[in-house]
Structure 1
Amino acid sequence: MSDALSEREEPTGASSGLLANDNLVRRIGEVVAGLFLAVVLGVLGWTVFSEVDPDLLQTIFPRFVTAYLLVIRIVIVSSILSVSAGIIVGLARISSSPLTSNVARGYIEFFRGTPLLFQLFLIYFGIPSLWGTGQFPISDWEIPAAVIGLTLNHAAYVGEAMRGGINAVPDGQMEAARSIGMSRVQAMREVILPQAWRNALAAIGNDQIILVKDTSLLTLISVPEIMQVFRSVNSATFDPWTPLVWVCLFYLAVTLPMSKLVGVLEARADWGSDRKSLAKRLGSRMPGGGTS
């Protein structure tokens, strides 16, 4: 009897030991995280109070605001174009036509397989060289080249995300839509793409945040963006820390709201409501308007 009782008590004891170990691991993690935070805040505080010049910080602020507004405009245009083009690339990637699919695949492999800086140089320096000296029709080529480069690069990533999102939708949904008389295009537009978009939303959102950070490379093609202002101030004052404060804050002023927006969009992806809406759309096309 006592042996049987001890055997029954062993799982409880083992469970208690496991919980104790889990609590220990959690406490160790909290201590390590707290120490890391303290070190980071200490270094930042020491740097701000000892290395940052408040007068210079105020003086250069308008220049960073101008650069920030330019970055916002570039990001908005490039994001809209890259997401729009990426959806088309994703659809082409799953096309039943081998030619269309292979061309889209080649596009994705090229722009994902070569550095963005190479692509910017190719567009900024290579395209004007196709004209004779001084004959290129666009005088201020920096910003158009930046938008084109960012759009082409990130459309490849969005396209691959959309391909994955479409492939994650069960095949039966396309079959069900076709069985009630929808064309393939109608089924893709009304049934598959809304779900594929939600499947790919996190990846697309992360890519657009990366697009913001990629604008730092535009300084190398003479775009007067945030990093270009930093380089100018640093070369004139030999003070890297003061302008770096504004660099950090202005980039975070773009990326943090974008991260929040992506989180809100993901949270609003109510799959239950989507299924009801999908059933309603499909049901309205069935004979008699039923939703069986």
Structure 2
Amino acid sequence: MAGTYSEETTAERRTEDGLLTDRRVKWFGIVVAGVFTTAVAYLLYRILSDFVDYDLLVGVIPRFLDAYLLVLQIFLISSVLSLVAGVFVGLGRVSRTRFTRSIATGYVEFFRGTPLLFQLFIIYLGIPAFWPPGQFPIGNWNVPAAIIGLTLNHAAYSGEAIKGGINSVPDGQMEAARSLGMSYIDAMREVVMPQAARNALAALGNDQVILVKDTSLLTVIAVPEIISVFRNVNSTEFDAWTPIVLVAVAYLAITLPLGKTVRYFERRSEWGGTDE
């Protein structure tokens, strides 16, 4: 009995020590989060009260609005094209044909292994070089080049997300579909791909947010996007903080609704989940 009582007392003491440790960690996290939030709030207050020229802010809003609409247009087109192309890349990565699988793998390795900036230069400067000087058929080439570059780059990442989603589907799903008389293509379309899309949704959503931020690189190929407007305002007005505020608002106006949309579809895609 004495031994049993001693063991129970020791177990209770260990549990109490564990709870005390957990409580300390909890409060440490609360303190750190509070200090961080206070510091960020104070920094934002100082910037908005001491460093932002609100007369200039109102004056440059139309220029940022034009850039915002252009970035939104480029993002929407590139997003749709990259997702569609990513499905084919992902299917190629899991293809039973070695040649198809090798081509898809080479595509992914190139576009993931080289910088997006390098790819944009190849498309923007390299493709027109195939024509004699002054004879390139597309006059305003910077926006089409931007869409092509973003699409090709992010199709590689979307393809890898789709590949991971397909590989996460149990093999028994395909076997069951084939045993019911479905062809391989029908089984992929009706059984495997819906589950793969659900499994890859988080990675695909994250890649789309990155796509939005990658539009900031388009300034190097003369696309009048948000960062380009910021540089112009800063160079003429010698004011960095005022346009920086509009840059942050412009990007967050795209990424925050996009993140919320992705989370909505994630909830809808959960087994037995609802959209509440």
TM-score category, normalised to shorter length: over 0.9
What does residue 189 of structure 2 align with?
Answer: 189
What does residue 255 of structure 1 align with?
Answer: 255
Provide the alpha-carbon RMSD of the alignment.
1.0
Taking the TM superposition and a 5 Å limit, the aligned residue runs for 1:226-237 are 226-237=226-237
Taking the TM superposition and a 5 Å limit, the aligned residue runs for 1:1-292 are 1-272=1-272
* Residue segments in structure 2 that go unaligned for 5+ positions in a row: none
Check 1:239–1:129 CA distance in 2 against 1; reply closer, same or farther (3 A cut): same
What does residue 282 of structure 1 align with?
Answer: none
Mean CA deviation greater in 42-51 or 103-112: 42-51
- The one-letter code sitting in structure 2 at the alignment partner of 1:68 is Y
Per-residue CA distance 1:3-61 (angstroms, 9 max, x = gap) = 43122121112101110110011101111111111111111211211111010000000
CA separation in 1, counterparts of 2:118 and 2:77? 21
Secondary structure of the structure 2 residue equivalent to 1:156? helix
- The one-letter code sitting in structure 2 at the alignment partner of 1:247 is V
Per-residue CA distance 1:115-157 (angstroms, 9 max, x = gap) = 0000001100111111111010000001000000000000000
CA separation in 2, counterparts of 1:115 and 1:216? 14
Secondary structure of the structure 1 residue equivalent to 2:269? coil
Secondary structure of the structure 2 residue equivalent to 1:95? coil
How far the C-alpha of 1:271 sits from its partner, in A, is: 2.2
How far the C-alpha of 1:190 sits from its partner, in A, is: 0.2
Q: State the identity %.
A: 59
CA separation in 2, counterparts of 1:20 and 1:94? 50
Secondary structure of the structure 2 residue equivalent to 1:29? helix
CA separation in 1, counterparts of 2:88 and 2:220? 30
CA separation in 2, counterparts of 1:244 and 1:149? 26
Secondary structure of the structure 1 residue equivalent to 2:64? helix
- The one-letter code sitting in structure 2 at the alignment partner of 1:229 is V
What does residue 289 of structure 1 align with?
Answer: none
Secondary structure of the structure 2 residue equivalent to 1:25? helix
Secondary structure of the structure 2 residue equivalent to 1:135? coil
- The one-letter code sitting in structure 2 at the alignment partner of 1:36 is F
CA separation in 1, counterparts of 2:8 and 2:40? 49
Q: How many residues align?
A: 273
* Residue segments in structure 1 that go unaligned for 5+ positions in a row: 274-292
How far the C-alpha of 1:272 sits from its partner, in A, is: 4.4
CA separation in 2, counterparts of 1:175 and 1:3? 57
CA separation in 1, counterparts of 2:88 and 2:69? 29
CA separation in 1, counterparts of 2:141 and 2:270? 44
- The one-letter code sitting in structure 2 at the alignment partner of 1:226 is I
After TM superposition, the score normalised by the length of structure 1 is 0.92
How far the C-alpha of 1:2 sits from its partner, in A, is: 3.7
Per-residue CA distance 1:191-227 (angstroms, 9 max, x = gap) = 0000000010000000000000000000111101100
CA separation in 1, counterparts of 2:262 and 2:42? 31
How far the C-alpha of 1:113 sits from its partner, in A, is: 0.2
